[in-house]
Amino acid sequence: MPELVAVDETEFGFGWVDETGSVPRTSHALAADGRVWVIDPVLVDGLEERLRALGEPAGVLVLLDRHRRDSRAVAALLGVPVHETPFDGVEGAPFEFRRILRSPVWREVALWWPERRVLVAADALGRLGYMTAGGEPLGIHPMLRPWPPRRALAGLAPEHVLVGHGTGLHGAEASRALAAALANARRGIATLVADGFRAASRRLR
């Protein structure tokens, strides 16, 4: 089992990254009113102790249908339910769930916590190279760039943007990066393609 490698630490939560696969997988825990919500979790050593130190476990949230990861195992460990892509919300949770895509092949919601100005996106937003064009600090998933999720995310001013792959953005940069990512999504497609070709050619040398 991987060790717990903490990222995105705040007074109300933390994240952890599993780097044993082809891409880093990031999970998060958010504490509100003494209750802890676990998001897209990968099971790692020491996780239960760290979560219970944060507060009373309340539930596991799966924001993307293909991000089930170890959600059922973590929920069983903590004795809480799993809420998968909760388009209609979760009773008792202080979060809004913004619809990114609801189709037979891709179901995703983004979590917005207004009180703390926290935005969590599983795959719609990301910081890995294949999602960012020309050095963007935050990018839209390549498959969503032609139709970026502006209806779901435009107008939000997050202080924290947490993503499902890699580390998040915090402070004033988070809000600026989100606005730029939504505004430049379509414009960045050509740059993203060119970046991909350059990376492929380097690997072939």
Residue 69 lies in a domain: yes
Q: Which two tokens stand for residue 172?
A: 């004033």
Closest CA to 159 of 167, 151, 150, 168: 168
pTM of this structure: 0.92
CA 174 – CA 169 distance, rounded (Å): 5
Q: How many domains does the chain divide into?
A: 1
- Alpha carbon 42 to chain centroid, angstroms: 13
H/E run at residue 85: none
- Kindly tell me if the per-residue pLDDT of 196 is higher than 50: no
Residue 36 lies in a domain: yes
Q: Give every CB contact of residue 147 below 8 A, 6+ residues apart in sequence.
A: none
Residue 96 lies in a domain: yes
* pLDDT tens digits, one per residue of 134-191: 788 999 999 999 999 999 999 999 999 999 999 999 999 999 999 999 998 887 676 6
What residue has token string 């239960």? 48
Residue 160 lies in a domain: yes
Q: Which two tokens stand for residue 57?
A: 């476990």
Strands 35-39 and 125-126: unpaired
Range of the domain at 178: 6-204
Residue 1 lies in a domain: no
Residue 188 lies in a domain: yes
CATH number of the domain that residue 179 is part of: 3.60.15.10
* pLDDT tens digits, one per residue of 24-46: 999 999 999 999 999 999 999 99
Per-residue confidence band for 130, with pLDDT thresholds at 50, 70 and 90: confident
* pLDDT tens digits, one per residue of 70-105: 999 999 999 999 999 999 999 999 999 999 999 999
Measuring CA to CA, how many Å separate 193 from each of 132, 141, 149, 153, 155? 11, 13, 20, 24, 28
